[in-house]
Amino acid sequence: MSSNQDYKMKTEATEEELYKTACEVMPGGISRNVVFHKPHPFYVSEASGCYITDINGVKKVDFANNIASLIHGHAHPKIVEAVCNQIKKGTAYTLATEIEIEHASLLCNRVPGFDKIRFMNSGTEAVMAMIKAARAYTGKPKIAKAEGGYHGSFDTAEVSQSASPANWGDIDSPNSVAHVQGTPKEVLDNVVIFPYNDIERTINILNRHAAHLACVIIDPVPHRIGMVQATPEFVEAVYNWTRQNNALLCFDEVICFRVAYEGAQSNYNVKPDLTSLGKIIGGGFPIGGLAGNKEIMNILDPSGNDYRFALSGTFSANPVSMTAGKVAMELLDREALDKLNHNSQIAIKQIKEAGKLADIPLSITGKGSMFKIHFREVAPTNFRESYEDAARKKVINLFLDKMYEENIIIINSCSCVLSTVITQKEIDMLSEAMLNSFRFIKPYLSA
């Protein structure tokens, strides 16, 4: 079948057939790398609650939840009803809507540090806006971010997210490593890299660039840096440095906003100036958000006296995402979140017991309803300690494939993010699958 021919999806098509057609019309047969898998991606037929049914009719428990975005699982009835009602009234307008005011009010009333908020369409856009706002407010060009930190697909934000022993340089002065070949040197020169949770080295590095740094970005529970929580001492040290050097402290809570009712920042005595959001605040639809201090956020106000940053977007604050997000966050009250986090602790306990039964090296990091499995006795504390070489990545892939055979879906970083619809039944299924998978990879771990 040529790429110019119309393709009509057939329920009887095999995954191999689907992938063959996909490769004719999409690079690698995919639109996002997270679904890439050899010899072909897995294809979904339908999903409901915490279960996904693939096109072969096999039902699997979902502990990935579209990379942490589905806090209430799939097709939650209240979200579906609200969205369907909104779709009948339109999906996007060149006019403002009441629902965006309601959703903004909900989030600002929920988090003490959110004076005002602006919506966009993804976490990547939220971080882009956060960086631009920090530059516009301070008048300085550089940003600082942790080595290995993932903050979306933006030249500046993705610097050193894929650093390796071959190029990351001295720990006292980490290199700014391009993620994509051809990234302008000027981009790299304007991104300062520091070692996560290392106060002394980080402050020394920041001091060398103090005159030009607009902001320091911290993900309080960074997925790509081993899902290790930022220590209060580290956050406070960076916060104090930014107060002394006319810079902003920016939190990326696109993923980790779920860890507490008022977000991950509620676990610290100091608060960020700006916070980027996404994932769960969209209720399963595309969304991003930038929230923070009123004085800083007012630079986005076209009617104000301090207007410095024009920000818009065709689908920003579209009523479908606003409706779904508002319902999702209303459902995620303190009781629901406490239960969710409690279930996560039960899951972690059972997985650790499975690790002991399988007699493998195991440690688990994370916070709230998100956690990551490490096949090592001592949990990592930074990116370099959590780095996986080719041999270890091969073992991880074997583990992920075995988990899928056990009808459990987890994130390809060996991470789990629970939804509110997960029960003890599914937790037991997860720990049993983990036990079987641990035993399966044990010979490879010792090889």
pLDDT tens, 128-140?
999 999 999 999 9
Please state, in angstroms and rounded to a whole number, the distance separating the CA atoms of residues 340 and 258: 10
Give tens-digit pLDDT for 305-333.
999 999 999 999 999 999 999 999 999 99
- C-alpha dihedral sign at 372, 373, 374, 378: positive
Q: Is pLDDT above 70 for 111?
A: yes
Q: Give the integer Cα–Cα distance in Å for 394 and 128.
A: 33
Confidence of residue 3 (pLDDT cuts 50, 70, 90): very low
Report d(CA 206, CA 405) in Å as an integer: 47
Listed residue (288, 287, 272, 276) closest to 235, CA to CA: 272
* pTM for the full predicted model: 0.95
Which among 173, 262, 250 is positioned nearest to 219, based on CA atoms? 250
pLDDT of residue 6: 45
Percent share of the chain, pLDDT over 70: 97
Catalogue all structural domains in the chain, each as residue range(s) with its CATH number. Answer: 42-71+333-445 (3.90.1150.10), 77-331 (3.40.640.10)
End-to-end CA distance of the chain: 44
What would the pLDDT profile of 172-199 be if each residue is shown by its tens digit? 999 999 999 999 999 999 999 999 999 9
Task: Give the pLDDT band of residue 2 (cuts 50, 70, 90).
Answer: very low
pLDDT band at 447 (very low <50, low <70, confident <90, very high): low
pLDDT band, residue 11 (cuts 50/70/90): low
Q: Which amino acid is at 254?
A: V
